[in-house]
Structure 1
Amino acid sequence: MHADPHLKLAQAQVRGALRGSGYTPAVKAFFDETTFTASYVVHDPALKRAAIIDPVLDFAQRSGRTSTRSADLIVDYVRELGLKVDWLLETHAHADHLSSAPYLQEKLGGKLAIGREILRVQDVFGTIFNEGTDFARDGSQFDHLFDDGDRMEIGEIPFTALHVPGHTPADMAYIIGDAAFVGDTMFMPDYGTARADFPGGDAAMLYRSIKRLTQLPDETRVFLCHDYKAPNRTEFAWETTIGFERTANVHVHEGVSEDDFVAMRTARDATLAMPQLILPSIQVNIRGGHFPEPENNGTAYLKLPLNTL
């Protein structure tokens, strides 16, 4: 097996935080039950520098109206604690909710960032939605594009970006101190893993990405993007550990081979309906959370491609 220098750096970062030689971030979750999405504010308690991860814009599909109720909860929290937002981080271009990152950026500042492979997602869905040449497919809707292994800081807390494709080509996990924000790679151990049948998805890549993440120290705190309540569980949950995922995840625990996982994931994905908000969400999220340009009547429109997905 080839050495993975970026993973080794992330492992060392987490171990340092666990030993007390690195800062441990404070994490506040905001769970939107309508889309089953967990958004996060993560900050350095000493310097009060913060990042916001995967924020939700409320969207009523029947009326086409948006609201900022969920985002305003984040604004209130950040202002109450006196935090300075440095980053607005997207783990990927979500298919289940619209991003409120531009609204939060206007209110709180910070750089909007995603993985560099968003260019592939923009290209694929730019074609599906027939966006034409006015739609830039170069990631310029974002302030920063992360490559695998990029290192940053939030205050004095080290922060490593890891590319973890499979659910989409562009998925990133953000390892901040001893906390891993893994997007849609894994769910709670009793629920399993994310689907891999969207355009550009790949179940084998997802397996390898999850195995990469589960090489982080067992004590690493894991914060998930979604929860749907596993059978026999009555409460939503979105925090676990790498050790629990590695040993107990019902889809990909130790002993499950790549071939077995791919077969399971392919069969399971074939039974799943498309996410309810995939068509509006993708059109907005490949633009960094911005709406398409208004037409000559001042109204922005979203497209509905027929018989395509």
Structure 2
Amino acid sequence: MDQPDRNRQRASLPPGGAVVGMRLPPRAGLGLKTQHVAQVLAEKPDIGFFEVHAENYMVDGGPLHAQLRLVRDSYPLSLHGVGLSIGGADPLDEQHLARLAALIERYKPAVFSEHLAWSTHGGVFYNDLLPLSYDAATLDRVCQHVDQVQERLGRQMLLENPSTYVEFETSTISEAAFIREVIDRTGCGLLLDVNNAFVSCTNHGRDVMAYLLDLPLQAATQIHLAGFASERDSAGAALLIDSHGSPVDRIVWGLYRQVIEQLGPMPSLLERDNDIPPLEILLDEARQAEAILAKAPAALREAAR
């Protein structure tokens, strides 16, 4: 799977933060929610950055764009995609990619990221992020898609490790090895979702620390943190759902602390997409993340500046 020519080509792509003047600081950030925008603009809370879903802004104008422009004037912006279907069997949607390119040109976000998942097949869109079969054919397809996105956007993208509930018997490569190979072959970066790692490893009966250490953590430049819902499957085993509807669990905080102790401070997003509380509660949770970032080894904190 050695791809030296591909690696040299990808090395010429600028990282997300090099494209714009406003980089993501090694601090906590929040997802920007419409119910909080007026308060954010009025009070300018002390937060590192805001993140938005790209697909919510793929229109020419309107109040959402007017609000986002004002937020972008005061805070670094992270753009997170949910609809490219990077892992899908179909070719990438050229119209979607064109709208994404226009959005990035409009706001020049510090970072663009997407999911290692698929959501379209045969021209049908599924409102979910579905898992892949980790095999050689899928690996080639994902790498081709990542190459296409990065070449079209003229910048590096980050790829997020998924939360999964089922696995394919046809998989011949571990998820961590698959992600590592995609990053090696395309030069994309890693969006490390600590909650996703815990959810998936719990659901599949794996050691989450072993999984995290098997990932190419040196390629991580942003972290996601979120809450999950606990259920039971038909056999009575624990089943965790990546719900984004509750505070970060204490176990995920502990994993995050270990990651930061190893890697040093990096931009860390608190995701909340369901049962969204008042802004003050989310800011409190962001402060928990910043307290952990502040306790990273001094040498790593200095290197992150």
The TM-score normalised by the length of structure 2 is: 0.35
Structure number with the higher strand fraction is 1
Structure number with the higher helix fraction is 2
The TM-score normalised by the length of structure 1 is: 0.35
